Amino acid sequence: MRKILVIVLALAGMQLSAQDSKINKESSFEQSNSIIDKLAADQVVMLSKKLNLTKPQQKLTTDLIIKQLKSDKFQKIMATKHDDNQSEVINRTLLEVPEFILQLTELLSEEQTQVLYKISAR
């Protein structure tokens, strides 16, 4: 009888440990997404000032930026400590990604596109 009780308690302990591990992974994932969301919002603010983005353009631009921030290239940047402001480093890097520029120009007016090409050429 004691052996059965010990086995049941051991299984219950393993189950609780597995649940804790799952909760920690989910928490880490949510924290990562909130960092990405914050960085994306910072980028949209910077681009909005430079390009005078409308509200619908801001939403679509946010989606494009989040997609880029989830890429391996940007994950490495976010994991690295920078002397400059991390937002500035991400902004400069975003403006060097041809795929991002191309997708963004599809959302912009001709005037906004010209401004984008000027700031991305720096």
pLDDT digits (tens, 9 = 90+) for 72-81: 999 888 888 7
- Residue 61 burial (10 A CB sphere; 0-12, 13-18, 19+): buried
Per-residue pLDDT reduced to its tens digit, 27-37: 444 556 788 99
**Residue 4 neighbours by CB distance under 10 Å:** 8
Cα 2 to Cα 90: distance, rounded to the nearest angstrom: 60
Q: Are 64 and 100 in contact (CB under 8 A)?
A: yes
pTM of the model: 0.70
pLDDT interval class at 87 (50, 70, 90): confident
